[in-house]
Amino acid sequence: MTTFSPRETVTELDRFIIGQKEAKRAVAIALRNRWRRQQLDGLLKEEVMPKNILMIGPTGVGKTEISRRLAKLAGAPFIKVEATKFTEVGYVGRDVEQIIRDLVEAAIGIVRDRKRKEVNAKAHINAEQRVLDALVGPTASPATRDSFRKKLREGQLDDKEIEVEVSDTGGGMPNFELPGMPGANIGVLNLGDMLGKAMGGRAKKVKTTVKDSHDMLVNDESDKLLDMEQVQQEALKLAENEGIVFIDEIDKIAARDGGAGAGVSREGVQRDLLPLVEGSTVATKYGPVKTDHVLFIASGAFHVSKPSDLLPELQGRLPIRVELRALEKEDFRRILTETEASLIKQYIALMGTEGVTLEFTEDAIDALAEVAVHLNGTLENIGARRLQTVMERVLDEISFEAPDRSGSTTKIDSDYVRQHVGDLAQDADLSRYIL
């Protein structure tokens, strides 16, 4: 568990998200509270419940991004769901439990990666042995193996084709889903898994090059060294104590009148979600998971409905309210330039791989931000997502021609931006389709 202080967490989030201080503070405190709870013992530790958060703000202003980055920072399993998904025809109440099952899968991934790192050195040695087996056969003399090992380490054999056998994780066996009971295959019985275990795991032969086999074999060998039982137990604990569930579009299920036509009523979905948020036990194929300490972050624009339209019980379970504000031109400028892995940095790096040097002038950044603001104002406000469509359009030509322009430098200034996107942006009908 991370020991970041709230201030440190906010500083980390600042690297990726511009503004939205209040939301960053709220999630930073929530994270610290988890650490605080872990320091307690006995009864009190079980009694302390997470203070779930309701993020209120228009689309594309950083609600998901803040939550996702927080989870990454904390090494916590994270799942995002759209609340409206559960109002669709064909869903039944228990489906919300799938959220927790998915959370556990995310936790398994995290724990497995961590454990793989621990056994990595040993796995490397074993993987190398297997490549040698594939190259010279298991019975070759030690001298032959040594000389091949040397060549292998020097990369001389990288392109050589070999056939290796690796275990087939997932996808091989069909899932047996019971009609009318989606998800029932998971908690109760998973034939694929049972058969897989009974047969000592499935293996498949793969033809590949020495170079490409490397990661595959290291992962395969790591998994053999892992105690999957232990991974699963740790993952269950991780999901219970550190899991973060992000429920988007909660405002769309906020009405109490039900009127959702043929689908499940909106109030019905709130009632289904309630036990999860209040704390209940969900059966997963790895074992039961208690949701009492899972952190829920709900989010919505609340243009039409208000948080007070939610069921009182749900309102009570989302005590921390934070507002995220709409982004303005200056925010767009900063998102383009200051964030780590900003779009500008990404495009410069991508074109760099083609030998093309991209340069953006200050006034180009201004122009990009202006176009984004203009389009958000005239079409639909989709927040920072607008920058992606604008940037893609501006760089479309360069992106297409880059391989022919290797060794050249392209300077993007405000004129360039205007030529490639500015005029288009003035034509509301046309830009609706393109930008």
Ligand X SMILES: Nc1ncnc2c1ncn2[C@@H]1O[C@H](COP(=O)(O)OP(=O)(O)OP(=O)(O)O)[C@@H](O)[C@H]1O
Chain residues binding ligand X by CB under 6 A are 17-20, 59-65, 248, 299, 335, 339, 383-385
Helices (H), 154-198: 184-187, 191-198
Question: Structure tokens of 73?
Answer: 């920072």
Rounded (10°) CA dihedral 74, 79, 83, 89: -170
Give 92's contacts (C-beta < 8 A, 6+ positions apart): 181, 182, 264
Shortest distance, position 190 Cβ to ligand X, whole Å = 32
Shortest distance, position 63 Cβ to ligand X, whole Å = 3
62 labelled as ligand-binding? yes
313 labelled as ligand-binding? yes
Give 156's contacts (C-beta < 8 A, 6+ positions apart): none
- β-pairing, 161-167 vs 203-209, is antiparallel
109 labelled as ligand-binding? no
Shortest distance, position 71 Cβ to ligand X, whole Å = 13
Residue number with CB closer to ligand X (58 or 196): 58
Residue number with CB closer to ligand X (282 or 335): 335
65 labelled as ligand-binding? yes
Residue number with CB closer to ligand X (80 or 124): 80
Q: Phi and psi at residue 27, in whole multiples of 5°? A: -70, -30
Shortest distance, position 264 Cβ to ligand X, whole Å = 21
Place of tokens 């060549």: 151
385 labelled as ligand-binding? yes
Residue number with CB closer to ligand X (20 or 98): 20
Residue number with CB closer to ligand X (68 or 151): 68
Shortest distance, position 373 Cβ to ligand X, whole Å = 14
Q: How is 407-424 classified by DSSP, letter by letter?
A: T-EEEE-HHHHIIIIIHH
Cα–Cα distance, 42 to 93 (Å, whole number)? 34
How does DSSP classify residue 157? T
Shortest distance, position 256 Cβ to ligand X, whole Å = 22
Residue number with CB closer to ligand X (202 or 325): 325
- CB-side exposure of 237: number of CA atoms within 13 Å? 9
What is the residue type of 45? K
For the chain, how many residues are written? 435
61 labelled as ligand-binding? yes
Among 69, 211, 193, CA closest to 135: 211
60 labelled as ligand-binding? yes
Annotated binding site for ATP: 18, 60-65, 248, 313, 385
Binding site membership: which residues?
18, 60-65, 248, 313, 385
